[in-house]
Amino acid sequence: MNPLQKEIFFYQFGNQPRAPKPYHRRTTYLCYQLKPHEGPIIARVCLQNKKKRHAEIRFIDNIKALRLDTSQRFEITCYVTWSPCPTCAKELVAFVRDHRHISLRLFASRLYFHWLRENKKGLKRLHASRIPVAVMSSLEFEDCWKEFVDNQGKPFQPWNKLEQYSESITRRLRKILEQPQNDLENEFRNLQLQ
């Protein structure tokens, strides 16, 4: 695995409402670790969007290419800079449905355009399909730092207000996941009327 550079980790995974300077659009990075249910980690990989292929789709392709033994259970933990878009959410649900021997957990630094109806539906689809989606807290940021960053042996140093931002994003996610589907549709209609 090519570890992430420290600067890339802080810039891309930072959960601040506004990206630190310079204000370039942040991209999606997905870092995952794969392990048998009762065993050590056998793979650590970092991916990013590339040539119109989202990191989540590249992740699915990578795991399929491994042709994991279907008689054995596997656990995959993913750390992503943005929660999946609706199309990627749908693909992740299909992947887990077709690979029942794989347990997948997603930890997102930020929610991708969380105010859009389709993105909310994608998050609800993941949640309903045995794919837990959670917001990264300092524990997950620290684990990501240790496992995927060329940290040169230095401990993780949280940025200002990391926990406050995580808690705010967690509340937002919880509200989305608890909102009934028809409420989402009514909210969308109201937005169109404005």
Within 10 A of 190 (CB to CB), how many other CB atoms are there? 9
Q: To 5 degrees, how large is the angle CA 165–CA 169–CA 171?
A: 120
Question: 97 CB contacts (<8 Å, ≥6 apart)?
Answer: 129
DSSP type of residue 160: T
State the catalytic residue, choosing from 56, 75, 91, 178.
56
56 is catalytic: yes
CA nearest 119: which of 51, 184, 26? 184
Angle at 172 between CA 167 and CA 177, to 5 degrees: 120
As annotated, the active-site residues are 56
